[in-house]
Structure 1
């Protein structure tokens, strides 16, 4: 019979070294051929008894009824090869190489439709089912790119062993167990082919993925961020119906440009991760979430604003004017824009395509004003709009502030001529700013401290070098005893002219110091350097409004301190550092005291830093464990603290994956059992990214779950501040898994209970690359140690 030239051609590629597998599928598909719809390309043996099952007969009849209408005269060509590496040649004989075009959307039927049915157990030599799947995936991507074949989840069925330990929906295709009965495999073949025809080939709305037009909003936002930050900005997403196309477009653009694409356990974790990357790397962000998620960010939204973090948060929204819209947040009964206004977050509401360029200009101008993230509430019309837009050039940003020479001279006189103790606490520092701070501190004898909210902005170690001027942490909770005694020699506070505290890039929140506002006003000379005039504190004696790098560069040539003043300051630092330790650091009780555990861990870190050039980024969650870690452990650089801003338990934990997957840093996390129970596990989303989305952990991530069975800060407050007994509200019941080890992609994952600390074993675990260690650490509750609360500074052991 002569086949008409315009007859539609569809292909089924059967890849298996098992003749029975190929024969069953070919025989099943033969039942779809009738009249003008023909099946060609393979000879096959059709034992009728294999296809007499009533379910097969019913489904094949219904498939034919549908195909008679949707695909009446197609030519369905079967291609059979035994191995994956033979697929290229087999298809080359039947397909011409296609030139992909990008001149607008094209329907799926314009391309080449191929259904791949692959028995990877016999088509690949790898002994591991995951490896076989990945080989099949890589092979199909290469072959389909070569021949212009478009793939969808309906295009690929891979048969192998069934992994009962996971359930995962592969967007690449369907992963299935090879059926034991032939009629089930036959039904699978009929179903897979007909599903592919219905969802893709015969669906007038289905277009070829490579020709799909990106929506205008995705192009505008990703292009803007790339111009501003290159490959530093990150795309953070959580799925939703109306924003799914925006997410797909933004993720594609980010991956193509080399920007990290990061998911999370929920919307809140996206904000926590974006805040951590901003604090550590000044990395802008684009977060996309669906409708009604405005309230899912918790107080982290306010923390992003407080950090002046640059980025966009896009919220899908329902169309304006709808009566009681499902999940709508801007309508007659409520207005999410008021939520943003209450938090001081700039917000742009996008509903009109004709105003899209003008509205985005306003969003971009707000981005430059450093008021925190810019919220974009976008209607479905905007989330579908895919026409070119013209974006007017944003208004120029106001010039950076520039302090007067008198202000710089006043700071220089204080450092050069005043025989007083000087303490300097910093916010985030660029590398050049940090180098200048260290140089000036060394020249003048300034004591450097960090804070509970921003640990490690200055640190004990800098590129392996000991920073002698670094003294510890100054904070309301967990203030280092050395810092406290520097400012309280002989047990009494210094007078106003005997001490000064310099705050660089700090709003001087009440968490930043152990002092009340009245003490800061009456007993301490306060110098504050900030580039934001509204951040100047009311008790500041010497305010300097300037960009920090400019201030430091202008200050350094003015530094010429008297020798005896510098020596006096260095002596005071040395005496404060020489204070005796809590004797509990040497007592190996069970459960361990915080003093003992962190002293042992600190010794491990000191050895790793000295002998292995070890560096790490610390993540400190809200609770006693986070305080003890900040107070007692040496640092090699800036870390992330859940105590920043609203002090939200769980933020530090939820932020770890975003940094671990977008940098090569070693990470140490310190998470109490209260925070651990408050937020979802980071493991499921992390496993998905490591196993199935090409993400990698290149450094070492070690998370210490610090377990003492309660909300320790609340308990200490109740017992110390209120001199009362605790009750059930402070207690937690935590189930602790046994030791286990597994692998996510190329990353080793292990959990271990720590009832004591073996330095050699722990050192080896902290040095292992591409590893995530989870340690459950048994600790005893204690009110007295680590200056957890102001009253605990009266610890009798000290």
Structure 2
């Protein structure tokens, strides 16, 4: 004899206004009952079952045999309601905990109580199309979970409607199913889904209800530490992987609850791109989790993270030590991923022993502060599963004291005050306080300000809506601004050592930063370098300043008292360099457009938006001719992200856009060549997933210009300019261009438009529309001259 206490209690909830749908499910489930397993609310209908044929008979018999073994004594109640609101009322009334504690509100149901939801959305859920009805059903079930405490999973929720052929998406809650045309098929699905749910939630003794499963110790320790360090600023970046799936789930849950960004990407590499962009633009630390064997998938962006001294952790799933040729293992007798990290200068810790996790994490947390870039953690399954409390020894890091030298600050002050030569300041990333000091000192002393191709917008033409007269453009190996070149080469002659000084602020003076040869640095250029890292001092720096920039500028400020005739002389030189005539081709329309024409037209739109509408934006510039042209020709309002930084990896800027767009209200302009576009996975599927199904929001305007000329332009120009060779197949690229379209993803509008020309009014309207992603396919022509793309093009015949 069985008692009430040891009987399983399960529910099947059917939401439909269709009598046929309800009758079919009730008839199918009736076949699963026995003398001890009561299925109430159903109707026996052997005539119907006989008509359903042998396949239903076989399926139902095997399901019943399984249930006789795994669920012999149970009460299964079928609830049928015409809508989800009525269903909520019925389930709440039957909740054991709600009945026991009416004054405490709904309580979580016991682990053994399970509900299978079969929802006929076409008749019982409001909405104009399949996706809107599906979203409405899912939203209602989430509310039901919070109000009543029912468990939800893909195995417990099935939503029937017409088949949506527009997209395929495996939801974390619920399955979308086409309503079968024949009753026997729906009957089989009712039997199958119920039996699958029993096997998953009842018969599976290893199953753990997520709400009761404690978070992994590693997830708690790292998220707690990052929250202590950066509050809600740090972001969680993830892809997926079996060995790290629990770690990802725990970190996502913790980050969501705390209000930290949770950011996915189309590949592991894209996670590194997004983390780099958020660090460069927002100084946001990160926690990144990738699965085993993916050490090499981050590409050279891992080195870029190191070079940028980004703060964060990258958790790699790793196999247990000692295995023979372990699947996806990277630490075993034939290879050792730790050597890869060592070669790249990335701190790495191999976490294999839960009993040592506290000490290992203390060392990793201490390393986080040393500004060596991200900290890599290779974690074994044993450590990833560990959920025990971990005591981490107190992490103490001595405060770094700025190295102050009166000699260097006096030498720089003398240059600003008494040397009549041209002064150029190229700035790396600046804090808000540093940027204000730079603009103030540059104005007072007549210093020309420039940015670089690797870090565009660190200083810019506009600041807080006002024109920065001292800003001249970009100084770089490729695409340097003509005004900058003219300032340093008046009348075509390069300035001598005593006639100028170039300051590199917060910069290692990489090869990309200037068009000058190494020989020129040693023999002709006067170089002042300000860096807080002594190992970054260039061997050719004439005045090396090893000090925090803010400290240095603060000490320099009261000493700047330049002679006014010197200031006027410098300002006159800046004005002459800026006002020289440009390339006349910039005014000539053509199809396809020249780079000069397109960017001149777009620049006019941006100037108007900035001055008339207080428009600001963050630029993303990918590696290629188009990205160079955008840096060289467009006005900026602040710092952007360049794929040219570090390893110059095509596609990095494109892959970085979603992470910033989803975590910042800023407007974004992206400039992506077709070579970079096709080199990396599309950002659209994962972006759509976050916007439509994961609560992601884009508040500003994101406009991405795909710059299409059907080839790898930089390589082609190199061949044609350096070797007088014609283009061959390696430089050609087939780029199909889809037609114009528009869609709504969540609360974000996304549209694609072919752009053979620029309509200024239409472009302005599109760039000002919030909560919008614009994808522009821009038709451009390849050419070698213009934009000083290659060194030889500085002799462009079109320039005066």
**Do the structures match in fold with TM over 0.5?**
yes
Give how far 1:524 is off.
Answer: 2.1
- Does residue 69 (structure 1) correspond to residue 90 (structure 2)? The answer is no
Aligned partner of 2:85 in structure 1 is 85
1:435-514 matches, cutoff 5 A: 435-514=436-515
3-state SS, counterpart of residue 629 of structure 2: helix
User: Residue 315 of structure 1 contacts residue 377 of structure 1 at CA under 8 Å; is this kept in 2?
Assistant: yes
Aligned partner of 1:379 in structure 2 is 380
Aligned partner of 1:708 in structure 2 is 709
Give how far 1:128 is off.
Answer: 2.7
Unaligned runs of 5+ in 1: 101-106
- Does residue 735 (structure 1) correspond to residue 730 (structure 2)? The answer is no
Give how far 1:405 is off.
Answer: 2.1
3-state SS, counterpart of residue 682 of structure 2: coil
User: Residue 2 of structure 2 contacts residue 73 of structure 2 at CA under 8 Å; is this kept in 1?
Assistant: no
TM-score calculated relative to the size of structure 2: 0.97
Tell me the C-alpha RMSD between the 2 structures: 1.7
CA deviation vs aligned residue, 1:4-57 (integer Å, no higher than 9, x gap): 343211111111111221121111111111120001145676653565321111
User: Residue 50 of structure 1 contacts residue 182 of structure 1 at CA under 8 Å; is this kept in 2?
Assistant: no
Give how far 1:505 is off.
Answer: 0.6
For 2:250 and 2:49, the matched residues in 1 are separated by 49
Aligned partner of 1:138 in structure 2 is 139
CA deviation vs aligned residue, 1:346-404 (integer Å, no higher than 9, x gap): 00000011111111111111110010111111111111111111111123234232322
Aligned partner of 1:282 in structure 2 is 283
User: Residue 619 of structure 2 contacts residue 640 of structure 2 at CA under 8 Å; is this kept in 1?
Assistant: yes
Aligned partner of 1:103 in structure 2 is none
3-state SS, counterpart of residue 786 of structure 1: coil
Give how far 1:151 is off.
Answer: 1.5
- Does residue 23 (structure 1) correspond to residue 23 (structure 2)? The answer is yes
Aligned partner of 2:401 in structure 1 is 400
CA deviation vs aligned residue, 1:398-444 (integer Å, no higher than 9, x gap): 42323222221221111111111100011111111111111111111
For 1:119 and 1:587, the matched residues in 2 are separated by 60
User: Residue 30 of structure 2 contacts residue 42 of structure 2 at CA under 8 Å; is this kept in 1?
Assistant: no
1:319-398 matches, cutoff 5 A: 319-398=320-399
Give how far 1:127 is off.
Answer: 2.2
User: Residue 311 of structure 2 contacts residue 374 of structure 2 at CA under 8 Å; is this kept in 1?
Assistant: yes
For 1:217 and 1:210, the matched residues in 2 are separated by 18
Give how far 1:109 is off.
Answer: 6.7
For 2:137 and 2:349, the matched residues in 1 are separated by 45
Aligned partner of 2:129 in structure 1 is 128
Aligned partner of 1:96 in structure 2 is 96
For 1:131 and 1:709, the matched residues in 2 are separated by 39
3-state SS, counterpart of residue 785 of structure 1: coil
CA deviation vs aligned residue, 1:614-645 (integer Å, no higher than 9, x gap): 11111111111111100000001100101000
3-state SS, counterpart of residue 150 of structure 1: coil
Aligned partner of 1:657 in structure 2 is 658
CA deviation vs aligned residue, 1:497-538 (integer Å, no higher than 9, x gap): 110111111000011011122212222221111111100100
User: Residue 29 of structure 1 contacts residue 190 of structure 1 at CA under 8 Å; is this kept in 2?
Assistant: yes
For 2:17 and 2:725, the matched residues in 1 are separated by 75
For 1:394 and 1:184, the matched residues in 2 are separated by 62
Runs of 4+ in 1 over 4 A off after TM superposition: 42-47
TM-score calculated relative to the size of structure 1: 0.97
Seen in structure 2, the aligned counterparts of structure 1 residues 126 and 44 have a Cα distance that, compared at 3 Å, is: farther
User: Residue 109 of structure 2 contacts residue 149 of structure 2 at CA under 8 Å; is this kept in 1?
Assistant: no
Aligned partner of 2:538 in structure 1 is 537
CA deviation vs aligned residue, 1:160-182 (integer Å, no higher than 9, x gap): 12101211111101111111111
1:637-648 matches, cutoff 5 A: 637-648=638-649
CA deviation vs aligned residue, 1:462-513 (integer Å, no higher than 9, x gap): 1111111100000011010100010111111111111011111100001101
User: Residue 28 of structure 1 contacts residue 51 of structure 1 at CA under 8 Å; is this kept in 2?
Assistant: no
User: Residue 109 of structure 2 contacts residue 150 of structure 2 at CA under 8 Å; is this kept in 1?
Assistant: no
Give how far 1:93 is off.
Answer: 2.3
Aligned partner of 1:609 in structure 2 is 610
- My pick for the range that moved more, 739-748 or 302-311, is 739-748
3-state SS, counterpart of residue 787 of structure 2: helix
3-state SS, counterpart of residue 448 of structure 1: strand
Unaligned runs of 5+ in 2: 102-107
3-state SS, counterpart of residue 327 of structure 1: coil
For 1:341 and 1:732, the matched residues in 2 are separated by 37
For 2:40 and 2:187, the matched residues in 1 are separated by 17
Give how far 1:2 is off.
Answer: 10
Aligned partner of 1:104 in structure 2 is none
Aligned partner of 1:237 in structure 2 is 238
- Does residue 780 (structure 1) correspond to residue 781 (structure 2)? The answer is yes
User: Residue 496 of structure 1 contacts residue 524 of structure 1 at CA under 8 Å; is this kept in 2?
Assistant: yes
1:235-314 matches, cutoff 5 A: 235-314=236-315
Number of residue pairs aligned between Structure 1 and Structure 2 = 792
User: Residue 321 of structure 2 contacts residue 331 of structure 2 at CA under 8 Å; is this kept in 1?
Assistant: yes
CA deviation vs aligned residue, 1:157-208 (integer Å, no higher than 9, x gap): 1111210121111110111111111111111111111111000122211122
Aligned partner of 1:792 in structure 2 is 793
Aligned partner of 1:762 in structure 2 is 763
